[in-house]
Amino acid sequence: MSSSSTIGSALAALTASGRAESRLAFGCDYNPEQWDPSVWAEDIRLMREAGVTIVAINVFGWAQIQPRPDVFDFSGLDAIIELLHEAGIGINLGTGTASPPPWLSTKHPEILPVDADGVRAWPGGRQAYCPSSPVFRAAAQRLATEVVTRYGSHPAVQLWHVSNELGCHNAHCYCDVSASAFRDWLRAKYGTVDALNTAWGTTFWSQRYGAWEEVLPPRHTLSAGNPAQALDFARFSSDEVLECYRMEERIIRRLSSVPVTTNFMVTAHIRNQDYWQWAPYMDVIANDHYLDHRLPDPHQELSFAADATRGLAGGDPWLLMEQATGAVNWQPRNITKVPGELMRNTFAHVARGADGVCFFQWRASAQGTEKFHSALLPHAGTDSRKWQEVLELSRALGSVRELAGTRVVADVALVFSWEAWWATDLDSHPSEELRYLEQVHAAYRALWEAGITVDIVRPGADLSAYRTVVAPSLYLVRDDEVKAVTDFVAGGGTAVITFFSGIVDQDDRVRLGGYPGAFTNLLGLHVDEFFPLAAGGSVTLDDGATGTVWSEHIVPGAADVVATYADGPLPGSPAVTRNTFGGGSAWYVGTALDRPHLSGLLARAAQEAGVDVPADHGDGVEQVLRRGPDADYRFYINHSDETRPARAAGLELLTGAAVDGLELPPGAVRVVKTKREE
């Protein structure tokens, strides 16, 4: 397992951070097998022109390098590796196991995944395998062993890229092999069927199991199924896909000393991997991020994902393994980036701790599913605006090379949990409008708009470095996680907890005695009934705020009432409270507050806790601070259409100009370096 300091040093090998030649990694997925070898020389020449330092190859190479069950052909890969090596371009080498070739699924159709209705997927796309399949695993193991044996000591290989976005399409398989693996996992967790019955509450609805053979994955049922079963299946599925990674990781560690990682998907639309459990096995934390135009504020979700990725890296720098120069091809409408947006997106990742920025993919495909996905080199070639932007971006990253190895500074923590996400979004809850990620994003956006940088932390994390912690809709919470927040407040910290938090334990069992069970004491109140709002409904608070989605009957104990409902089902009842607890305070928000009021409330709570909240916030300028051993680097990213002033003094790295006060043109990015006097 990697500690966070080895994450930093593994990435430092790619960025040479802290040394005179330091740089930020800049690169892409490179799929040369799509092209005639005559194109490769031009690729390499243009990669050098664009300042590419690292490329991911062999990610989907399986069918090329193992064309038949007993035939391996590395000639193409050998040639590419040598070309890149000669050009001084580092390699992020795929183990090649991401997508089984047709011969494997033809010979072994039982590796194909099965959905909750019992329908087996066909081959023809990608990642069509059951993560628990011993046949798939043996084949992947064999391929990975061949690849690592051949290239494990090659001087150009800087990073191992295990598989690709593990669990992107196949996270949940319901086949009989998965069912058996699920039972093994449950047996290891519970020991006895009786213990499982207790944890799952199977006495209700006549679901009691008498033997392990009776236990199944949560396949499609007529009514809603057992929620604890669904929750355990989500945990099992994450563990099972992680085990696919670990199987390859073990091979790599045996045969090579090059750092190992895989690309995470900390995004808005994929929630199936509990990356808090995965992170310890990575030498470098790497994320893939694509703007999601189905969301109201894609660039704020980008910032959230970047902060969450840094959280997974324990605060150390991390690697953006994939993003797009423009449009993707897998959303309903594939919106491209307007001029300047690529620079803003990239610098938002860098501001939030990325020490390397890579893209999918090098050259836009002429064929196949992703031919309309943007790339560094578009279909139009170098005679294009996109190519000029890529060159400009590469130059800009060159001018901030000294950032490598520096760390983001944050006084506020936001608790985020994949397990709570799965649990909150289970069926049969008070309101289908309460979706965990939406509430997390709402809190994050409110903090973003208040100009407050946050660290995203796991539940139960040590909070002692922070002044304020925010826990949005943390429905499922374990006792030790409750204690972490309670101790933090008792010791002088400020917590802000929002509705539908603290409701159940790890088995999805309601904590009795009034909601929010786990936090009633800390918050100095209890809730005796939920009053979710009708679809599209809203309530007004006496301070003018609007609440949506949720309301509830709060009975204050020690807590002070900060705001009450002016209308709706609970006029005169508390909506927002604040409790003094030990040396600190704990705020509670009982409804989904509108953006400006949630932002104002979080800014007030943070400010009262001593957080430095910028006075000029709320103007669409993203501000983040990275700190090095002897300098501070302040990022300013103007997302607005107006020129914005900023009080910054120092050396602006992108223009090379000394500044005392900034005028930020619309869309501009600036990084101001200030020497620190120790």
In whole angstroms, the minimum distance from the beta carbon of 31 to ligand GAL comes to 9
C-alpha span between 209 and 266 (Å, rounded):
36
The CB density around residue 75, as the number of other CB atoms within 10 Å, is 9
Task: Specify the residue, 261 or 585, whose C-beta has the smaller distance to ligand GAL.
Answer: 261
* Least Cβ distance, residue 346 to ligand GAL (angstroms): 16
What residues contact 399, with CB distance under 8 A and at least 6 apart?
Answer: 653, 654, 656
Beta strands per DSSP E along 73-124: 90-94
Helical pair 436-449 and 298-312, crossing angle rounded to 10 deg: 100
Element (H, E) at 521: helix 520-523
Cα 236 from Cα 572, distance rounded (Å): 45
Q: Which of residues 66 and 323 has its CB atom nearest to ligand GAL in the complex?
A: 323
Q: Pick the closer one to ligand GAL by CB: 371 or 385.
A: 371
In the residue annotation, 165 being an active-site residue is answered as yes
Angle at 579 between CA 479 and CA 510, to 5 degrees: 35
Distances (CA, A) of 46 to 53, 76, 205, 391, 423: 12, 20, 65, 10, 48
Instruction: Please tell me which residue in 301, 322, 449, 481 is annotated as part of the active site.
Output: 322
Neighbouring-strand partners of residue 241:
none
- Closest approach of ligand GAL to the CB of residue 427, in Å: 28
Question: Using CB under 6 A as the criterion, which residues of the chain lie in contact with ligand GAL when the complex forms?
Answer: 164-165, 168, 288, 290, 322, 328, 360, 370, 373
Q: Of the candidates 352, 353, 363, 359, which has an alpha carbon nearest to the alpha carbon of residue 393?
A: 359
Question: Where would I find the H helices in 16-88?
Answer: 37-49, 62-65, 75-86
Cβ nearer to ligand GAL, comparing 312 with 586:
312
Q: Which residues have C-beta within 8 Å of that of residue 214, sequence separation ≥ 6? A: none
Determine if residue 168 is labeled as part of a ligand binding site.
Answer: no
**Annotated binding residue 358:** no
Three-state DSSP at 172 gives coil
Q: How far apart are CA 266 and CA 276, in angstroms?
A: 11
CB 328 within 8 A of CB 374: yes
Q: Sign of the C-alpha dihedral, residues 298, 304, 307, 313? A: negative
- CA–CA separation, 253 vs 255, rounded Å? 6
CB of residue 360 to ligand GAL, shortest distance in Å: 4
Strand partners, 261: 161
Residue type, 38: S
Read off the amino acid at residue 141: Q
Q: Report the run of H or E that residue 413 belongs to, with start and end.
A: strand 412-415
Minimum CB–partner distance for residue 583 and ligand GAL (Å):
46
Report the nearest approach of ligand GAL to the CB of residue 7 (Å): 21
Check whether 126 is labelled as a binding-site residue. yes
Q: Give me the least distance between CB of 193 and ligand GAL, in Å please.
A: 39
> Is 432 a catalytic site residue?
no
User: Min. distance of Cβ 499 from ligand GAL in angstroms?
Assistant: 33
* 51 burial type by CB count under 10 A (0-12 exposed, 13-18 middle, 19+ buried): middle
DSSP 106: H
Query: Which residue, 43 or 165, is less far from ligand GAL as judged by CB?
Result: 165
How far is Cα 605 from Cα 89, in angstroms, rounded to an integer? 48
**CA triple 579-583-586, angle to 5 deg:** 30
244 labeled part of a ligand binding site: no
The amino acid at residue 447 is L
Residues forming beta bridges with residue 652, ordered by sequence position: 657, 672
| Contact in structure between 284 and 317 (CB atoms under 8 Å) | no
Shortest reach from residue 133's CB to ligand GAL, in Å: 21
602 is written with which tokens?
A: 């979080």
Query: What would the two tokens of residue 309 be?
Result: 């990725």
| Closest to ligand GAL by CB, 183 or 289 | 289
**Helix extents (H) in 313-376:** 341-351
> Which string of DSSP letters, residue by residue, matches 246-295?
HHHHHHHHHH--S-EE-EE--SSS-----HHHHGGG-SS-EEE----TTS
For residue 359, the minimal CB distance to ligand GAL (Å) is: 10
Query: Which entry of 165, 249, 402, 481 is annotated as an active-site residue?
Result: 165
Q: Which residues participate in the annotated binding site for Zn(2+)?
A: 130, 173, 175
Q: Which residues participate in the annotated binding site for substrate?
A: 126, 164, 330
Please give the positions annotated as active site.
Answer: 165, 322
